[in-house]
Structure 1
Amino acid sequence: MSAAATDLDLLLLAIAAMPTPWKKWPGGYPDRLDLALVDAVMSIRFRYGRERKDGSWTGARGAVLRYQKHSEDITGAEKMKHLANHDPVALERILNRQKVHSGKTKAFAIVEAAKRFTAIGVTELAHVRPHDPEHRHQYTGVSGLGPVTWEYFTMLLSHEGVKADTWLTEFVGRAVRRPVLSEFAGSLVKEAAETLGAKQNELDHAIWSFASTTRLKSMPEIP
């Protein structure tokens, strides 16, 4: 590779080396704002999960499915309000007691975010504006929730985006041969998606699946 190769060139080479077909983006929750919020928060530093023999799931996926079953009798317009009014301790028993930081469980963060959204009238998917600073602040204003999972939250609502988590950022860093920040990694993956004519969500998931499955053993470590 020429010394003049750009970061985008290097990333595209790394993407081309991934097995095809890419792992398919499983999609999000086109009609469930509450489930998207639960998923986004539960995914923080937590494995996606795997299906057990009895059909139940472990990990973040399992937590979402348990909450989905718990809330199945709540009417559509009331689902987000129901989540906002939920007792966080009772929600912990449905999800788990994982924490977003030492002082707060994910259940408490979910309820707080739901309260903040419903307070400004955001109770349905169509109400969310991904690029609205106020809407973004309602999520990131909750201690423990940040811009990376805000973008993932909007992705789960069928908006284009890239969740620049640890695995994706590490993949990009190894591709360009130096440590990078998550903001840079996300921006470069979006640029690569545009170059490849791929959807951002699809490329994001393909990279994440490859990285989390292989633990990037086939890529040289960052010098």
Structure 2
Amino acid sequence: MTTPPNDLDLLLIAISAIPPPWKKWPGGYPDRLDLALVDAVMSIRFRYGRERRDGTWTGARGAVLRYQRHSEHVAPSERMRYLATQDPVALEKILNRQKVHAGKTKAFAIVEAAKNFRSAGITEPGHLKPDDDDHQQLYTDVKGLGPVTWEYLTMLLSHDGVKADSWITEFVGRATGRRVSFEGAGGLVKEAAQKLDVDETTLDHAIWSYASTTGLRNMPPFPDLA
């Protein structure tokens, strides 16, 4: 009697259908905790962005590049202090006025998280430990910031991981034929990365690029959405 495929088997089948070569993870900011924090928060429910003809960018990428220009005069040792002391209203004009929840913009959340990190002495990328629950709590204590973008923050600092956003979760859900939580999707992608002997970040980006580019039009929707 044939054993039916489990969730991991089904996910691996779906991954095998992603056309090679996989799009390469563009990397993050291994030397810039401030930029990684801005990117992680700006990425919430927001497109990555695209490059315009004039060289500027839209989306979250554009916001990060604008802040990078705004802070280019700051000495490396002062970058997190500078971010933590920004006026959130003024920062909104550089980034945008998108909100992390009703009443709080992403700019306010970024400044609050920067203050939390700075108060704990986390001012350099090497100070932040992905597996330290206290470090994670400094981030997730800010209303609107959660474990998904916490992991993305650590990925932007060159730690391996999976950002189980809506595209990743949708891909895993369609592959397995059932709805999965963000945590469940992330866990399955990590298992798949181990099985395929690739970095979690590499597989994460391959799935995300495929899903966001195709809209998953080639994957069957959930039965109740058909």
Structure 1 counterpart of 2:99: 99
Q: How does 1:1-223 map to 2 (within 5 A)?
A: 4-223=4-223
How much does 1:44 deviate? Answer: 0.1
Structure 2 counterpart of 1:206, one-letter code = A
Structure 2 counterpart of 1:64, one-letter code = V
Distance in 1 (alpha carbons) for counterparts of 2:133 and 2:15 = 32
SS of 2:100's partner is strand
Structure 2 counterpart of 1:219, one-letter code = M
Aligned-pair Cα RMSD in Å: 0.7
Q: How many residues align?
A: 222
Distance in 2 (alpha carbons) for counterparts of 1:195 and 1:99 = 38
Residue deviations 1:143-192 (CA, integer Å, cap 9, x gap): 00000000000000000100000000000000001001010000000000
Percent of residue pairs identical: 70
Runs of 4+ in 1 over 6 A off after TM superposition: none
Distance in 2 (alpha carbons) for counterparts of 1:109 and 1:155 = 19
How much does 1:7 deviate? Answer: 0.8
Distance in 1 (alpha carbons) for counterparts of 2:10 and 2:201 = 20
Structure 2 counterpart of 1:108, one-letter code = F
Distance in 2 (alpha carbons) for counterparts of 1:133 and 1:195 = 27
How much does 1:207 deviate? Answer: 0.3
Which sections of structure 2, spanning at least 5 residues, go unmatched? none
Distance in 2 (alpha carbons) for counterparts of 1:88 and 1:221 = 41
Distance in 2 (alpha carbons) for counterparts of 1:22 and 1:83 = 35
Distance in 1 (alpha carbons) for counterparts of 2:150 and 2:219 = 29
Distance in 1 (alpha carbons) for counterparts of 2:213 and 2:3 = 31
Which sections of structure 1, spanning at least 5 residues, go unmatched? none
